[in-house]
Amino acid sequence: MLKFFKNRRVMQEKIVKMFDEIAPTYDLVNRILTFGIDKNWRKKAIREVLKYSTPKKVLDVACGTGDMIEEWRKNIDCEVIGLDPSNGMLDIAKKRFPDVNFINSYANDIPFESEFDAISISFGIRNVVEIKKAIKEFNKALKKNGVLVILEFTKPKKNSSLTKCVNFYTNKFLPKIGGLLSKNKEAYEYLPNSIEKFYTADELKELLEKENFKVLKIISLNFGQVSIIIAKKGE
């Protein structure tokens, strides 16, 4: 049993170390690999939240270099706090946003209670080893009726021909180009492997509902490869 927990800790530390290593090239590689479309996905995720809530205080979990923080600030006047366990990613975020508060911590260890009107996590939850604990922490950190938005690569429900094309790009091209640009092949092989092992949007919905969230909307993007899930903290 002890070994199981130790393995999970080691696995999580390895993931964070990988982000420390790719931090300097993360933004550039993202823009090139997604042809800049990732920016539109983040914007859409935030605009969907704004249909249900006008948050004054937001926590961006797994904030990385701060792309989601940039999008929050473009779309609404609110206080945003960033949380991430990777010093490499946080150092870049702090330079981009000197006036934002950042916390070095894990999604499954959020040092706040009933504090936020909204929590966002974009392309972060797939990297969280203790995902159920993280969802409990989101619930704890949100105020009553607070909104959670998850933007993530999810396993598609059906394998249509277009999904197969997108998967081909992600599994074959992306690790090669990402590996070349970042000089870290392992990190860009991790991406398709982690998507393959991750949940479908419906499975994520189930996990959220078990932890007292009401899922308000699921939006499927990129031929089912990316999902936006909007959920509200239950009573």
Ligand X SMILES: C[S@@+](CC[C@H](N)C(=O)[O-])C[C@H]1O[C@@H](n2cnc3c(N)ncnc32)[C@H](O)[C@@H]1O
Residues at the binding site for S-adenosyl-L-methionine are: 65, 84, 122
**Is-contact 79 117, C-beta < 8 A?**
no
Interaction between residue 110 and ligand X (CB under 6 A) = no
User: What stretch of H or E contains 220?
Assistant: strand 213-221
Return d(Cα 20, Cα 200) in angstroms, integer: 27
Binding residue for ligand X (CB under 6 A) from 122, 167, 170, 227?
122
Q: Closer to ligand X by CB, 159 or 194: give it.
A: 194
Q: Closer to ligand X by CB, 145 or 189: give it.
A: 189
Interaction between residue 152 and ligand X (CB under 6 A) = no
Q: Closer to ligand X by CB, 12 or 222: give it.
A: 12
Query: Binding to ligand X (CB under 6 A): which residues in 159-198?
Result: none
3 state SS of 80: strand
Binding residue for ligand X (CB under 6 A) from 22, 33, 67, 137?
67
Measure CA of the first residue to CA of the last residue in the chain; give whole Å: 35
Interaction between residue 137 and ligand X (CB under 6 A) = no
CB of residue 97 to ligand X, shortest distance in Å? 13
Question: In 3D, which of 178, 196, 126, 123 has the Cα closest to residue 186?
Answer: 178
Q: Which of these ranges, 49-57, 62-70, 204-212, 221-229, lies near ligand X under the rule CB under 6 A?
A: 62-70
Query: Binding to ligand X (CB under 6 A): which residues in 15-34?
Result: 15-16, 19
Interaction between residue 230 and ligand X (CB under 6 A) = no
The angle at the Cα of 167, spanning 161 to 173, to the nearest 5 degrees, equals: 125
Here the tokens at position 235 are 């009573």
Return d(Cα 143, Cα 130) in angstroms, integer: 22
Cα–Cα distance list, 135 to 166, 201, 208, 226 (Å): 29, 15, 7, 19
Query: Binding to ligand X (CB under 6 A): which residues in 75-104?
Result: 84-86, 89
In the complex, the residues that contact ligand X under the rule CB under 6 A are 12, 15-16, 19, 61-64, 67-68, 84-86, 89, 106-107, 122-124, 127-128
